[in-house]
Amino acid sequence: MKREVSSITSLLGGTIVLLVVLLAAVAGFATEGDYMDNYIGADADMVGTDNCAMCHSDLAEEEDTHAAKVSDDENGCEGCHGPGSAHNGNVLGILNPTKMPQEETTATCTSCHEEQGAFTLEDWDESSHNEAGNSCVDCHLGHSSNPFFLIKEDVNDLCADCHEDIVTAVEAGDHGVEGMACTACHNLHGG
C-alpha cells in the first residue's frame, strides 16, 4: 500500500512539474538565454499598428507611449515587437523587449534612437550601464505613460535602484547640487 501511495505521489508530483514547465513555455516565460530560440515570428509578415490596437487598444491610447507617438506601420508596434502575423494571441510569435537578451533589446531600441540623434550604439557599447549588463528596458518602458518613457516618474528614484548611496548623497547636498537630477551631470547613454 505504501509503495502504491508513493508511486501515485511521485507520478502526481512529476505531472505537476511537467504542467508548470509547459504552461511557462506556452505563456512565454522563457529565460533570456533561450527566449530568442523560442521566438516563432522571425518569418512573420507585418500586420500594422491598427491590427495590434484591436486587442491592445489600452496601450495604443496612452498619450505618451511609443505606439501613440510613432503610428506608422514601419516604426509602430512592430518596430519594437517585430512582425505581428505569427502573434495572434501566441506570446512566442511577438518580441517582448523585457525578455530579450540585452544585445537584442539595445539593438532594437538603437535602430530608431540612433537615427534621431539621441545616442549611438557605439556610445552605448562603451557606457558603464552596458558594461554592468543593463539594457534599455531596465530604465525605460515603451508603454509608460510619462513623457520621458521612464519606469518611474522621478529620474533620481530610478537611479537609486542601483545607486542608492549616491542619490542619498545628492539629496543631502554631498554630491553635486542638492535635489538636482542625476541626468543634469551624467550622460546615461554614453561613455
Query: In angstroms, rounded to a whole number, what is the distance separating the alpha carbons of residues 93 and 103?
Result: 20
Instruction: Judge contact between 154 and 161, C-beta under 8 A.
Output: no
Cell of 28: 512565454
Q: pLDDT of 25-61, one tens digit each?
A: 455 444 555 889 999 999 999 998 888 888 888 876 6
Within-domain flag for 111 = yes
Global confidence as pTM: 0.71
Final residue in a domain of this structure, among 78, 96, 114: 96
**In contact, 65 and 143? CB cutoff 8 Å:** yes
What kind and span of H or E run contains 189? none
Contact predicate 142/66, CB 8 Å: yes
The domain in which residue 125 lies consists of 97-191
Residues 49 and 59 in one domain: yes
pLDDT digits (tens, 9 = 90+) for 79-129: 889 999 999 889 999 999 999 999 999 998 888 888 877 778 888 888 889
CA atoms within 13 A on the CB side of 2: 0
Q: Is residue 34 part of a domain?
A: no
